[in-house]
Chain A
Amino acid sequence: NAGVTQTPKFQVLKTGQSMTLQCAQDMNHEYMSWYRQDPGMGLRLIHYSVGAGITDQGEVPNGYNVSRSTTEDFPLRLLSAAPSQTSVYFCASRDRGAGELFFGEGSRLTVL
């Protein structure tokens, strides 16, 4: 089982550039979410989705867009990268019940 797959694993951007972090899961989970991890700050929720066509903002949504056209995919778009978006990004999914989150391996983004 692939589980949750994130690409790319590493990316370097210049300020102002845009890019998309890809996330796909093969467990038929309804819920998907994006977190960013910064030192000493745990994981902060950026956006989440409770099903195809439904997305909502989390704690730190500014500068990011998401869409959920299929159950499997939940891409995260950086519209105009800023140095403050340098972070490690994790995609996660879980089923509708009381299940735990399943995480991807993370994407390390550096914005110069």
Chain B
Amino acid sequence: AQSVTQLDSQVPVFEEAPVELRCNYSSSVSVYLFWYVQYPNQGLQLLLKYLSGSTLVKGINGFEAEFNKSQTSFHLRKPSVHISDTAEYFCAVSHFGANAGKSTFGDGTTLTVKP
């Protein structure tokens, strides 16, 4: 079975400071990895994804994430956050093969950027 653990439920940070949101996953098979963002009262939208290749992936709004296979982690980073980055962030894995229709999400991390 696959599982996703987001290690921080809430991350408060001051504007222009760097931030890291941590995500670990567990899977017996290969998966694809994603970070989604949810702004208040909206659906989720993709920030970035790792399918294969370079372990450092860049996404929208200046976010990037690094896939670490040995540590089964996919942490999200941004060097300087803005007030507008305040949102909920979800790490997710998508399966393929026999479970191709499924995606598993972490519980989410609420990022609050303070002025």
Given A33-B101, A103-B44; A42-B106 close (CB under 8 Å):
yes
Classify the secondary structure of A's interface with B. strand
Classify the secondary structure of B's interface with A. strand
A53 interfacial contact with B, CB 8 Å: no
What are the interface flags for B96-113 relative to A under an 8 Å C-beta threshold, 1 for contact and 0 otherwise? 100011111111100000
Closest A residue to B100 by beta carbon equals A50
Stretch of B13-21, B45-53, B62-70, B72-80 contacting A (4+ beta carbons < 8 Å): B45-53
Interface size class on chain B is: 20 to 34
Residue among B4, B36, B103, B104 having the largest count of chain A Cβ atoms under 10 Å: B103
Given A100-B34, A100-B49; A45-B106 close (CB under 8 Å):
no
Q: Contact check: which of A45, A100, A104, A106 meets B102 at CB < 8 Å?
A: A45
Least Cβ distance of A36 to chain B in Å? Answer: 11
Given A42-B108, A98-B51, A98-B94; A56-B43 close (CB under 8 Å):
no
Q: Measuring CB to CB, which residues of chain B are less than 8 angstroms from any residue of chain A?
A: 4, 6, 9, 32, 34, 36, 42-46, 49, 51, 90, 92, 94, 96, 100-108
**Contacts A44-B105, A45-B102, A100-B46 given; 14 further ones with Cβ under 8 A?**
A4-B43, A41-B107, A43-B90, A45-B103, A45-B104, A50-B100, A56-B101, A90-B44, A94-B94, A98-B96, A101-B36, A101-B46, A101-B103, A105-B43
Of the A-B pairs whose beta carbons lie under 8 Å apart in the complex, a sample of 26, sorted by A's number, is A31-B100, A33-B101, A33-B102, A40-B9, A41-B107, A43-B44, A43-B90, A43-B105, A44-B105, A45-B104, A49-B101, A90-B43, A94-B94, A98-B96, A100-B36, A100-B46, A100-B49, A100-B94, A101-B46, A101-B92, A101-B103, A103-B43, A103-B44, A104-B43, A105-B42, A106-B42
